[in-house]
Amino acid sequence: MDPIAASAGRQDENILIEKAKKGDFEAYGQLVERYERKIYRLARNITQSNEDAEDVLQDAFLKAYEHLDGFQGQARFYTWLVRIAVNESLMKLRKRKSDRSVSLDENIETDEEPIAREIAVWDNPEKQYSRAEMKQVLDEAITSLKPIFRVVFILRDVEELSTEETAETLGLSIAAVKSRLLRARLQLREKLTRTFKRKGDQILGYV
């Protein structure tokens, strides 16, 4: 985005926030309209549930409004909103029997040494599968990641937050974010490699 346009957009947003703080529901409604699709997508990617994502969307914007006076503008409003939505999404995961132990504080190594993996070469998967099939394969691979890796991957590579913003949002160190992102990417590549190879073998079996 053009820096001048970005600055103007930020100023416009700050005006809406100040109006909303004074009880202007229409101003807050404009903020909701601006980010509701992104927040829903974020929640859907983390929870893997349309119903939970809808709940997170409602709860996140309600909680943001209730605590709007506490927003000091030191970070972008969207980054602040993402932090709330991530927390609400993780609460949904913790309520599920299979994810009761979900925690972003789980201890893992935070070194940035490269991890040696035997990765097969992809044979132009985009030529073998439709866009819809590729999206389904990628969604399934992301879903299979442990939550501590999935959330970092979604914030950095899907929502395109910076490493610093991701660290601030999740309350992690920058080193931890880099480490988890590296592991998420490697795990995804490994899973996708196996999937493409398996599908390729299936296709060859019918030839």
Q: What is the pLDDT of residues 25-81, one digit of tens each?
A: 899 999 999 999 999 999 998 988 899 999 999 999 999 999 999 898 878 899 899
What are the residue ranges of CATH 1.10.1740.10 in the chain?
Answer: 3-97
**CB-based contacts of 78, cutoff 8 Å, min separation 6:** 35, 38
Q: Where residue 2 falls among pLDDT bands split at 50, 70, 90? A: low
> What gap in Å lies between CA 11 and CA 19, rounded to an integer?
13
Q: Pick from 17, 25, 3: which is nearest to 73 by CA?
A: 17
pLDDT (tens digit per residue) in 130-171: 667 777 778 888 888 888 899 999 999 888 888 998 998 888
Q: What CA–CA distances, in Å, run from 119 to 170, 184, 190?
A: 30, 14, 6
CATH architecture of 125-206: Orthogonal Bundle (1.10)
Q: Which long-range contacts (CB under 8 A, 24 or more apart) does 100-108 make?
A: 102/147, 102/148, 103/148, 104/147, 104/148, 104/151, 104/170, 104/171, 104/172, 106/148, 108/148, 108/176, 108/179, 108/180, 108/183
| Class of domain 3-97 as given by CATH | mainly alpha
High-pLDDT (> 90) share of the chain, %: 39
Tell me: pLDDT of 115 over 80: no
What are the residue ranges of CATH 1.10.10.10 in the chain?
Answer: 125-206
Tell me: pLDDT of 119 over 50: no
Note the residue count of the chain. 207
Q: Which amino acid is at 79?
A: T
Tell me: pLDDT of 198 over 90: no
